[in-house]
Amino acid sequence: MYDPVCPIDYRYGRKELKEIFGETKRLQYLLDVEAALVRAHAKVGNIPKSVADEISKKASTIFVKVERVKEIEAETKHDIMAVTRALAEQCGNDAGKYVHLGATSYDIVDTANALQFTESTELIKNSLRELRKTLVELAKKHKKTVMVGRTHGQHTIPITFGLKMAAYAMEIDRHMERLFECKTRLFVGKLSGAVGTGAALGKNALKLQEEMLKELKLGVEDVSTQIVCRDRYNELIGVLCNISTSMEKFATEIRNLQRDEIGEVAEAFEVKKQIGSSTMPHKRNPITCEQISGLARVVRGFINPTYENSIQWHERDLCNSASERFIIPHSLVLTDWIVYQMNIVFKNLQVYPEKMKKNLEISKGLPMAESLMTMLISKGFGRGEAHELMRKVSLKAVQQNKSLKEVFIEENMNLNLLTENEIDNALKPENYLGAAEEIIEKVVKKLER
């Protein structure tokens, strides 16, 4: 026996997700489909009910062992034939001869895939729900926590940290919608034989398919080839890539805000034991956010082979098989993992409002130039005229290394534009937050209902 090679086996991923794609659970999904198949045959009168009962009883990893399936596959070089033979071996009273009756391998494989999709996406949806809840709590807590907004990496006008969190919460909410909306297109199986005609299933082919998939609580592929149409898989991986990209976006923001020269938030750090660097004792690195960013790129990397797998020769070739063994479990396990990790980061996030306030002061009032411009417009200035005045004032403040207030007061003395009280009010960041608080409250109301 060799040591694990893939980091998912020993480093990344939650136990619940990994079990869904483990050898034993995967075998059980295949056996569940085989059992549903024979019960469908019994319902339409193709085989005795006693036969279906016997096969159903033995269609369990209690009886059909992974090790035995591997032994048979080593001889047959065919994974599904190995499963069916291992199952048939366990069945008494000649019931084994009815195992896999009329089916082709991918009737079983793709239907088992759909069962895995059903269970794994439900867990991911639950992880997203927990993350959304955490973000809503942060939005509520920090709806008045003023910080500088940044575009192009530069200071702009004030926002609140709560507004940022509310935006993230709504992004997660949309991902939950996407997962829900693709269910009817994703949770689909097939029982239609080698090229989709169901010829080997006899006159009751369509009824058999309906009965088998109804029992498994899956939809029916309208028209299949040998496989379920892969546009469905494209959609799933696309949604997972979208979710993963949001996680990297959030993680990147935290990494940036944790930089020493900004220092507005930070990942939690276990002061007593956690080590940031093997050589620099002072380091407190955002390692979880960096892990999230790195793994999100791996998930997105699967989008290209997924789309290429949709291009099959005629009714199907085997090019999709090997790559899907990587794509499907890795994409689902890693997406769940980074959502789970992102929730831990936000739950324990250290937020520093005083540093946010201090950073607002770095630009010496320049982020409030728009506020003064707006005040001038309210006093009768044209928008272009007010913009040009504040542009010149801002440039002069930078050139002379003065605050915006100092330079504007000099201009105001000559032009008598605003009162001292009006200037002071316009320069207070907390007075120039627009509808931020109302927006946050609307988000909270929507997501907590």
Q: Which of 106, 105, 88 is nearest to 97 (CA)?
A: 88
Query: What is 348-369 written as a DSSP string?
Result: T-EE-HHHHHHHHHHTTTGGGH
Catalytic option among 152, 278, 282, 314: 152
In whole angstroms, how large is the CA radius of gyration of the chain? 30
Interatomic CA distance for residues 223 and 69, integer angstroms = 31
Query: What's the CA angle centered on 93, arms 87 and 94, to 5 degrees?
Result: 60
Q: Catalytic: 277?
A: yes
Q: Which helix (H) or strand (E) holds 292?
A: helix 287-301
HSE-CB of 159 using CA atoms within 13 angstroms: 16
H or E, element range at 155? strand 154-160
Active-site residue, selected from the candidate residues 50, 277, 310, 378: 277
> Has 152 been annotated as catalytic?
yes
**Catalytic site residues?**
152, 277
